[in-house]
Structure 1
Amino acid sequence: LLFRRFGIGAVLGYLIAGILIGPQGLGLISEGETILEFSEIGIILLLFLVGLELAPARLMRLRRAIFGLGLSQVAVCGIALFLLIMANTNFSLGASIALGLPLALSSTAQVLPMLQSSGRLNTPSGESAFSILLFQDLSIIPLLTIVAVLSRAPPTQDSLPGWLTAILGVLAIVGLILAGRYLLQPLLKLIGRIAERELFIVAGLVAVFGSAALMEVIGLSPALGAFVAGVMLANSPYRHELEADIDPFRSLLLGLFFLAVGMLLDLNVIRENTAFVFGAAIALVATKTLVIFALGKLFGMQTMPALSMGLLLSQGGEFGFVLFAEAEQAMLIQPEASSLFGAVITVSMATTPLLMLLVQRFNAASAASNVELNDPSQADSASVLVVGHGRFGQTVSQMFAGANVAVTIIDIKPQQIDVSQQFGRKVFYGDGTRVDLLRSAGAEKCAAIVFCIDDRQFDSATIDVISSAFPDVKIFVRAFDRVHLLDIKKSKISGAKREVFESAIHLAKQAMVAIDLDEVLIDEVDREYRQLDCDRLEAQREANDMFAGRHLGFGLSGGKRESD
């Protein structure tokens, strides 16, 4: 709470708290290793939640960033850090490789929550950062293989060759995808029909931890298995419900993870090698920032997003501890070196919140020439929240303004915010479908939330989560089309309207007047069409079938005016 209050971020607070209560601080907790093992479940849940936001189609769209930008980052940063260690230390070639390559990885547990909480995960720069982190998780396979090839320890009978591990990993991913499509999705539909919420949560958790366990058995990252499980459920209508159930545990366990990292920090190593630890941490952060910034520019990013991404991914990562332990078992490095570079990673993690504050100041300084993206928590108290300020939201917000109703407007598109600002409209930046962001904007004090977003993925499951969080707030939704309208009407909403319904009716009436049809006939057709449409919607809703009530319409068999 103290660190959040001063805007530094919770991660640094967790690290320092871990140091204070750990064996080298007050000595209140001595089992740091055990706590770390349990808290790694938080990373597994984090990757699962990220997978839920990445439907396979979107993942395919990011393939260039994952295998282009991600591969380039791991390779270039790894080589640069290896050369830096070789040039400035007395470590052997094998030890320098075993220490340098893991330092190229960043902290998924630290970076992804920062992207999610700020609503930047779905922005172009956020997707680029995520693509790099995803490839880093995939790169655990070749990095473990490199350590195994360089190993000076006698081989064990239980270990698998790196090439075999890679093949098994690919087969496992394919098997999980097929299991998700042909087993898990039908199972969730069955559970959904019988309305057993507990069984639904159990099925989701079995998918998460079953996938994670499968990957661990074949020697891969369990977090990668959880990510695949999330992608399997990304198109499920229950994904938002799963996210709402699991997210609190993810937050608590990630906090526990950083506490454990602080507990395990060897203060004696830092005390005896202060200059080296802090100098190496600064060199690590500077090298990764410069390399990632250069790669971002090479891949077409603008200057500030590329710099922000470089600083965001500049720290060492939690998988570095895993790879250092493997290198230690492979007799490539001594335990003292593992502790020393583990301290370097921890110190580099502590710099990230401070660097993010620096980025925010850079953004503020360049606000005159760039889009000003304000956090919704800065908004004044309002009676209505309007989410989405495109062509639909602009009309809605102006209608409220004309009635002297205080409105807070939220949009996730910087370009749209820029255009709105040019016309004097104050629009706040963020993903207005997230409960945490709506709460920071004061949603619980509002009379209504009007969702004006052009998104068919904004479905009844998402609306149910929002309405549960704000039960006293009236919710209105812009429906994309008839199918979308039928879906959102399953939720507790106060009103919904198809985006082109009224405009199409009015345009038809204008054309009828222009060709001199009788005004009484025009009004009668208008009234009857609306009634037929309502009857057809009700028939479709009751039958859960889009073809129900298909006879209800003019010009069709059974239509009232077919013979007119």
Structure 2
Amino acid sequence: MKDALVILGATGIIIPLFARFRVTPIIGFILVGLLVGPYGLGRMVFEYEWLSHITITDPERLEPFAEFGIILLLFSIGLELSFNRLWQLRKLVFGLGALELLVIGTMLASVLSMMGQYWTGALALGLALAFSSTALVLPISGTNTPVGRAALSMLLFEDIMIVPIIFLLGALAPNADAEGLGGLLETLWKGGLVIAVMMIAGRLLLPRLFAQAARTKSPELFLAASMLVVIGASLATTIVGLSPIVGALIAGLLIAETEYHTEVEGIMEPFKGLALGVFLITVGMGIDLATIWDNLALIAGAVVGVLVLKAVVTGVLLRLMGARRATATETGILMASPSETTLIVLSAGAGAMLIQPGTAQFWQIVTAIGLTITPLLALLGKMVARRVEPAPSLDELDGDAEAPRVVIVGFGRVGKLVAQMLQRHDQPYVAIDSNPDLVEEARHEGYYAVFGNALREDALDNLGIGHAPAVILTMDEHILAQRMVRKLRASHPDLPIIARARDSFHAAELYRCGASTAVPETLESSLQLSEAALVDIGVPMGPVIASIHEKRDEYRVRIQRDGALEHKPKLRTSTAEN
């Protein structure tokens, strides 16, 4: 109960405090672990007995909860994916992921061997340090950005390879016998059988299980069903010798195929965050500042050496696989630190007597420091990526000006949604915005956006406006939108111009300026609200959609008619009556 009080108290203080200063709470949890752990205030428990109420002197008691946090993280990752998306990533997972782990592991092993480490121990250390942190990297990068997709593919392969690597270390142990290879083969066929059973049973049973839980309208039952699935799947893979995170990932993938995945993801989110906080606290507890100070130069050199080698190798591999310079740079730096899995492999190597206890403790400290600075590596990666490949300007698009594509002017929330719909229907586009931060963010997320002022005479020409299928104006500044429409219509009489409008009155002004279509936000929200209400009360979808289209066309005609009038008071009256 005392440990629970310390953890919950730290959570209640750290998350709001670090959120106030816009700093990731990951660093806060690790610092809390350092403060309340056996190498922090826990050292002084015997001198000041009252410190025993706010410290944790036995980190091993928290390890099951920390492992559960990683299990819930992999479960939530599975919920964000699907089997179709995972199949699309297969080349990255088994191509890029395999290259990243094997190349970095081999290079680190070679360096350690040249420094005097026996080759079996060097191999164990190289493979351990080649892992990157799933628990920290994916929450930072997400899974929908180019950086997130590249990181996800490598981390998935690393998670798959945990069991074979641990078996390999057992086979290399000085006292190992032929059971090493036999045990690996037995685990693989049993694991494959269990996974196949889980996938078949999951597709048949999970929709029925969650449908029954949903009918009760009980959040508690829905939570219990979710916990049952993730714990049951993790336990099933653990029994046959596989990692529990494999079962958790498969459980998430299976639930992602059902219509209940959004509800499950929302209801599990608080538990995942709290359990991950426990894991990060245990990482902080493993940092001994006294040992670090006594070996400061050696530990700093080891940390920097591992980070630089992993960042460079990962970035080069990504470039060879066709990634952009910015994506390769940011992903390489983000993936540079060791992982929580490194601690597992180090323990396995020490247990197999391949690594000396003192050596294992040294690299555990290096790993803990690497985990602590992962959020800082993420910030560094973004900064370096911006310098390596800044957002392109209009002058860089001259070679692409002949390709017909839709031009999106303004790339905020609305512009991104328009781009997503164009991408879904395989329609080429280019977006332009005068806000460099928006352009940089859009490029980072994989959109084709450029920096520039659309009111410049040569700006739209460089974008190929002369043969664009259409131009879409998404800015919410009504005066600027009117100027853009007038300019475009004067230069390109036949160009379809679709403009965003605040209301019907603004839409009428845009029609007067020459817009082909003006879409009032107030009108669209009213139509969507009407559509949702009619469908929910039982009106068939087909007639509802037809009537919505008819009403939209009716309003468009009225707005265009009012836009043709020159007397604004009459227009205001007409709009209000409509």
**CA 1:91 to 1:194, structure 2 compared with 1: closer, same or farther past 3 Å?**
same
1:161 alignment partner, SS class: helix
- Residue 251 of structure 2 corresponds to residue 204 of structure 1: no
The match for 1:55 among 55, 64, 82 is 82
Answer whether contact 2:330 2:384 (CA < 8 A) is retained.
no
Matched, 1:246 2:268: yes
1:126 aligns with 2:153: no
Partner of 2:364: 342
TM-score scaled by structure 2?
Answer: 0.66
**Residue 21 of structure 1 is aligned with which of 28, 36, 39?**
36
Structure 1 residues 448-485: Cα deviation after superposition (integer angstroms, max 9, x where no partner): 9xxxxxxxxxxxxxxxxxxxxxxxxx995998xxxxx8
- Which of 108, 112, 115 is the equivalent residue of 2:141? 115
Which position in structure 2 is the counterpart of 1:467? none
SS across alignment from 1:139: helix
> Does the 8 Å CA contact 2:171/2:178 hold for their aligned counterparts?
no
The one-letter code sitting in structure 2 at the alignment partner of 1:418 is: A
The reply on whether 1:502 has 2:538 as its aligned counterpart is no
Superposed CA deviations along residues 272-316 of structure 1, whole A, max 9, x for unmatched, are: 432222111111111110111011001110001001000111110
Does residue 448 of structure 2 align to residue 390 of structure 1?
no
Q: Aligned partners of 1:193 and 1:69: how far apart in 2?
A: 44
Residue aligning to 2:95: 68
Q: Which residue of 1 aligns with 2:168?
A: 146
| Residues 323-342 of structure 1 aligned to structure 2 (within 5 Å) | 323-342=345-364
**Residues 524-544 of structure 1: CA distance to partner in whole angstroms, max 9, x if unpaired?**
xxxxxxxxxxxxxxxxxxxxx
Cα distance in 1, alignment partners of residues 160 and 106 from structure 2: 18
Question: Which of 52, 57, 80 matches 1:30?
Answer: 57
Q: How far apart are 1:388 and its partner, in Å?
A: 4.6
Distance change in 2, residues 1:157/1:387 (3 Å):
same
Question: Which residue number in structure 1 is paired with residue 131 of structure 2?
Answer: 105
Q: Displacement, 1:417?
A: 6.8
Percentage of identical aligned residues: 31
Structure 1 partner of 2:499: none
2:449 to 418, 443, 449: 418
- Please give the alpha-carbon distance, in whole angstroms, between the structure 1 residues aligned to 2:547 and 2:320: 42
8 Å CA contact 1:107, 1:315 repeated in 2: yes
Equivalent residue runs for 1:387-536 within 5 Å: 388-390=416-418, 414=445, 418=449, 423=454, 476=525, 502=549
Say if 1:427 and 1:126 are closer, same or farther in 2 by CA, change over 3 A. farther
Quote the residue 1:285 is aligned against. 307
- Residues 388, 412 of structure 1: 8 Å contact kept: no
- Quick check: 1:171 aligned with 2:193? yes
Taking a change above 3 Å as real, the CA distance of residues 303 and 219 of structure 1, as seen in their structure-2 partners, is: same
Is the Cα contact below 8 Å between 2:37 and 2:285 reproduced in 1? yes
Using the alignment, how far apart are the partners of 2:534 and 2:108 within structure 1? 52
In the TM superposition, 1:199-348 aligns within 5 A as: 199-348=221-370
**In 2: Cα distance, 1:266 partner to 1:359 partner:** 28
Code of the residue aligned with 1:59 in structure 2: it is L
Cα RMSD over matched residues? 4.1
Quote the Cα distance in structure 2 between the aligned partners of 1:505 and 1:478.
8
How far apart are 1:4 and its partner, in Å?
Answer: 5.1
How far off is 1:192 after superposition? 2.6
User: Which of 367, 373, 397 is residue 351 of structure 1 equivalent to?
Assistant: 373
Counterpart amino acid of residue 365 in structure 2? A
Matched, 1:42 2:69: yes
Distance 1:415 1:143, change over 3 A: closer
Instruction: Determine the C-alpha separation between the residues in 2 that align with 1:499 and 1:9.
Output: 48
**What residue identity is the alignment partner of 1:18?**
G
Summarize the Cα distance change of 1:370–1:256 in structure 2 as closer, same or farther, 3 Å threshold: farther
Deviation at 1:504, TM superposition (A): 12
Bigger helix share: 2
Alpha-carbon deviation of 1:337? 1.5
1:370-429: per-residue Cα shift (whole Å, max 9, x none)? 489xxxxxxxxxxx97585417999xxxxxxxxxxxxx999899565726976487889x
Superposed displacement of residue 34, structure 1: 1.6
Change (3 A) 1:369 1:161: same
CA–CA separation in structure 1 for the residues paired with 2:355 and 2:169: 11
User: Could you list the per-position Cα deviations for residues 95-137 of structure 1 after superposition, in whole angstroms to 9, with x for gaps in the alignment?
Assistant: 1111111111101111111123xxxx21233111111111110
Q: Which runs of 5+ in 2 are unaligned?
A: 1-13, 43-54, 395-411, 423-437, 456-472, 477-501, 504-522, 558-578
The verdict on how the C-alpha distance between 1:488 and 1:154 changes in structure 2, with shifts beyond 3 A counting, is farther
Q: Is the 8 A contact 1:36 1:261 kept in 2?
A: no
Change (3 A) 1:503 1:319: farther
Q: CA deviation at 1:269?
A: 3.7
CA distance 1:6–1:193, change in 2 (3 Å) = closer
User: CA 1:210/1:412 → structure 2, altered by over 3 Å: closer, same or farther?
Assistant: farther
The whole-number CA distance in structure 1 between the counterparts of 2:200 and 2:368 is 39
* Mapped partners of 2:94, 2:237: distance in 1: 21
Distance in 2, matches of 1:181 and 1:207, equals 12
* Kept after mapping to 2: 8 A contact 1:51/1:228: yes
Q: Contact between 2:131 and 2:158, CA under 8 Å: does it hold in 1?
A: yes
Contact 2:171 2:181 in 1 (8 A): no
Q: Kindly tell me: are residues 142 and 157 of structure 1, through their superposed partners in 2, closer, same or farther at Cα, counting changes over 3 Å?
A: closer
The answer on 1:96 being equivalent to 2:96 is no
- Distance in 2, matches of 1:287 and 1:280, equals 11
Compute the displacement of 1:151 (Å): 1.2
Conservation of the 8 A alpha-carbon contact between 2:128 and 2:345: yes
Q: How big is the shift at 1:66?
A: 0.8
Distance 1:156 1:11, change over 3 A: farther
Evaluate the alpha carbon distance shift between residue 185 and residue 505 of structure 1 in structure 2; reply closer, same or farther with a 3 A threshold.
same
Provide closer, same or farther for how the CA distance between residues 307 and 366 of structure 1 changes in structure 2, counting only shifts above 3 A: closer
Q: Mark the CA change 1:259 to 1:488 in structure 2 (over 3 Å): closer, same or farther.
A: farther
State which structure, 1 or 2, has the greater radius of gyration over its C-alpha atoms. 2
Aligned to 2:483: none
* Alignment TM-score, normalising by the size of structure 1: 0.67
C-alpha separation in 2, matches of 1:427 and 1:361: 28
Q: Deviations over 1:116-167 (max 9, x none)?
A: 3xxxx21233111111111110010221121011012466999971121122
CA distance in 2, matches of 1:158, 1:69: 28
* Deviates further, 233-242 or 213-222: 213-222
**Matched residue, 2:25:** 10
* Aligned partner of 1:181 among 192, 203, 215: 203
Distance in 2 (alpha carbons) for counterparts of 1:82 and 1:106:
16
- Give the distance between the partners of 2:527 and 2:93, measured in 1 at CA: 34
Q: Is the 8 A contact 1:389 1:416 kept in 2?
A: no
